[in-house]
Amino acid sequence: MLAVHASTVEELLTLVKDSWNRHDMVTYAAQFAADAVYVNAIGQEWRGHAEIERGHIVMHRSIFKDSRITRMTNRTQMIAEGVVICTSDWEMEGAQPPDGWIMHHPRQGVMTLVLAEREGRWWIVAGQNTQKTEVELTIE
């Protein structure tokens, strides 16, 4: 089992995916800094580690209780010493939307994370997750 705290960016991103797939939202949320801000795929803004953890626990008791991230492709770029931007394309199976919601299978999205090295480990300090939808654009 991996450590709860990530000493590298790659380890942090692995912890995010693996803890999601185990539905271990305590470990998942442990990757977020105390002052982190996270906007989920349906636009809810969660502020601070406790709110991010609570929100994910609630979602994993319902919509995501059978979900599994099947693909997570990460692109990282260091923008300053100890600060990395990660854009991650993801694909998920097993999410069960409430009545009236439309979720394509597999569910796909893109997540952008701001990662910072503090106190000898990497943290998520900000994140935005967006579900991809099919939109046809006509440019003339």
For residue 78, which phi and psi values (nearest 5 degrees)? Answer: -75, 125
The single-letter DSSP state of residue 87 is: E
Of residues 84 and 96, which shows the higher confidence score?
A: 84
At 10-52, the pLDDT tens digits run 999 999 999 999 999 999 999 999 999 999 988 999 999 999 9
Query: What is the pLDDT, as a whole number, of residue 136?
Result: 66
Query: What is the pLDDT, as a whole number, of residue 135?
Result: 67
> Domains (ranges, CATH) in the chain?
9-131 (3.10.450.50)
Indicate if the pLDDT at residue 1 is higher than 80. Answer: no
**Cross-strand partners of 118:** 121
Query: How many C-beta atoms lie closer than 10 Å to residue 12's C-beta?
Result: 21
